[in-house]
Amino acid sequence: MSDVLIAYYSRRVQNYASGDIKDLARGNAEILAGFAAEATGGTLFEIDTAKQYPEDYNACTEAALGEKNAHARPELRGHLKNADAYDTIVLVYPNWWGTMPMAVYTFLEENGFAGKTILPLCTHEGSGLSDTERDIACECPKAAVGRGLAVKGSCAAASQDVVTAWLDREL
């Protein structure tokens, strides 16, 4: 399925997991994106901000909340150049403050994905998908938004079968 794009935003370094703050070499969403790429043969694209968030978890969450409250659209480091090449976008992101990181909004607004199908794949530590399926539909009104999957971040590394089964159902 080469017409599948796996676009992901993921946070390395300090993350909240199972009641503790832990350092991660790879972010949970990045791990899930890898599983999605393996299951679909799709192309990976990392959504990354030009200005990096603080490594300290608490400082990062404060910055993320400030961006959310300001409806910020952070500048991205790289841009997708061939959106037309893909029919399906598996969008992988952490749940930050009940929605996606604002960088994911920047990515969606840049691309629109009219006529495409977007499959939300979210990591969280208790809030599930929240309203992210609706948020994606609002940002990309000409795209179809499929049924999303929420994976607890602290369980991401053990979730390959869950991600593969979800993609088998949704694709």
What pTM value is reported for the model?
Answer: 0.95
Q: Are 171 and 149 in contact (CB under 8 A)?
A: no
Identify the domain containing residue 126 by its residue range: 4-170
CATH number for the domain harbouring residue 20 = 3.40.50.360
- Phi, psi torsion values for 4, nearest 5 degrees: -105, 130
Give tens-digit pLDDT for 17-32: 767 888 888 999 999 9
Give the model's pLDDT for residue 18: 67
Total domain count, the chain: 1
User: Which one, of 100, 163, 159, lies nearest residue 131 by Cα?
Assistant: 100
